[in-house]
Amino acid sequence: MSKKKFAKESATIMTEMVLPNDTNTLNNLMGGRLMHWMDVVAAIAAQKHSNRIVVTASADSISFKQPIALGNVVTLQAKVTRAFNSSMEVFIEVSAEDIPASKKTITHRAFFTFVAVDQNGKPIEIPEVVPETPEEVELYEGALRRRQLRLVLAKRMKPEDAQELKSIFNLEITK
Ligand SMILES: CC(C)(COP(=O)(O)OP(=O)(O)OC[C@H]1O[C@@H](n2cnc3c(N)ncnc32)[C@H](O)[C@@H]1OP(=O)(O)O)[C@@H](O)C(=O)NCCC(=O)NCCS
């Protein structure tokens, strides 16, 4: 497919308020609820890029360093960093805001991978991503390395075929 789309065309912003039904017994946002919101915002970004039905293929490690409190406003921003054949990597940044206290913190950053599929669930080719800003270029350039790492961990790629991983682990891959 020769079609290309700018990274910014997939930019998606979702805003939620943490309500009692979203929290654990410490009145903080449940991790599972946050992951659900991340999945939704990233799926919308992937749909915008591909104009296709998309399915979640993987979510890279998500750590919970600080709690998000009841009443906070959570903003999730997602954008496709790079597209391959049928799969695309989506970067998600989450921030939590205590509006009465005028305090806003970035709480999470994560990468999800989505695959565009046809009506029968078969992977289908998607447009390339054209990065424009320095941040988009940096994310685009790192995406191949992250793809190889997740495919090796998923046992979908042989470590010796993951040429880009040499730069992380300084490995001697001779193939
Ligand atoms: C994702 C899915 C469509 C891949 O189908 P498949 O038959 O394995 O297809 P392929 O091997 O041709 O892989 C298709 C693409 O998915 C990518 N992919 C597959 N598994 C992956 C994983 N664990 N992590 C990242 N990418 C993955 C492949 O790298 C490939 O990318 P490319 O086309 O850009 O090169 C299929 O596994 C599926 O439908 N999974 C369930 C999706 C779902 O229900 N998600 C909700 C979770 S509850």
Q: Which residue from 41, 43, 112, 33 is spatially nearest to 68, judged by alpha carbons?
A: 33
Ligand 1 pocket, Cβ-based, cut-off 6 angstroms: 55-58, 84-87, 113, 115, 117, 121, 123, 150-151, 154, 156
Tell whether the torsion through CA atoms of 98, 103, 108 and 113 is positive or negative: positive
Is 61 or 139 the better-scoring residue by pLDDT?
A: 139
171 — pLDDT class (breaks 50, 70, 90) = low
Q: Which two tokens stand for residue 20?
A: 């009692």
Between the CA of 98 and the centroid of ligand 1 the distance, in Å, is 38
Between the CA of 123 and the centroid of ligand 1 the distance, in Å, is 8
117 Cβ partners below 8 Å, 6+ apart?
A: 52, 53, 54, 55, 86, 123, 124
Between the CA of 29 and the centroid of ligand 1 the distance, in Å, is 30
CA 168 to chain centre: 20
Strand partners of residue 114: 56, 88
Cα–Cα distances in Å, from 152 out to 100, 115, 149?
46, 17, 5
Residue 160 has pLDDT above 80, yes or no: yes
What are the pLDDT digits (tens) for 89-111? 999 999 999 999 999 999 999 99
Could you tell me if 71 and 18 are in contact, meaning their C-beta atoms sit under 8 angstroms apart? yes
What are the pLDDT digits (tens) for 1-22? 669 999 999 999 999 999 999 9
Per-chain mean pLDDT for the chain: 94
pLDDT at 175: 47
Residue 169 has pLDDT above 90, yes or no: no
What are the pLDDT digits (tens) for 22-81? 999 999 999 999 999 999 999 999 999 999 999 999 999 888 888 999 999 999 999 999
> Which pTM value belongs to this model?
0.94
- Tell me the average pLDDT across 149-157: 95
pLDDT at 8: 98
pLDDT at 172: 57
User: DSSP readout, the chain?
Assistant: ---EEEGGGG-EEEEEE--GGGB-TTSBB-HHHHHHHHHHHHHHHHHHHHSSEEEEEEE------S--BTT-EEEEEEEEEEE-SSEEEEEEEEEEEETTTTEEEEEEEEEEEEEEE-TTS-B---PEEE--SHHHHHHHHHHHHHHHHHHHHTTSS-GGG-GGGHHHH------
